Amino acid sequence: MTQRRKPRKYTDEFREEAVKLVTEQGYSVTEAANSLGITTKLLYNWKDKFIFLAAVRQLIFSINKTNYFALSVSR
């Protein structure tokens, strides 16, 4: 019976920097993944999550800003 490998643990900082190689520095996902020793699938997952969370943060900021102005006007 073969033993399963334990999945590696990556810090949030490592994940963010890996995604920034693609989103801000112009690396392809394949180039970045190869240089970091991770799979392209893993980097695509991190990138998708990073983009999703950025959109959620922007939406929350927009809602909070709208609510703040609505409260200011109603007073």
Residue 43 exposed, middle or buried by CB count within 10 Å (0-12, 13-18, 19+): buried
- Can you give the pLDDT of all 75 residues of the chain as single tens digits? 678 877 789 999 999 999 999 999 999 999 999 999 999 999 999 999 999 998 998 988 888 777 766 666 555
Taking alpha carbons only, the member of 39, 35, 29 closest to residue 7 is 39
Taking alpha carbons only, the member of 36, 44, 31 closest to residue 14 is 36
Helix 40-74 / helix 12-23 crossing angle, nearest 10 deg: 90
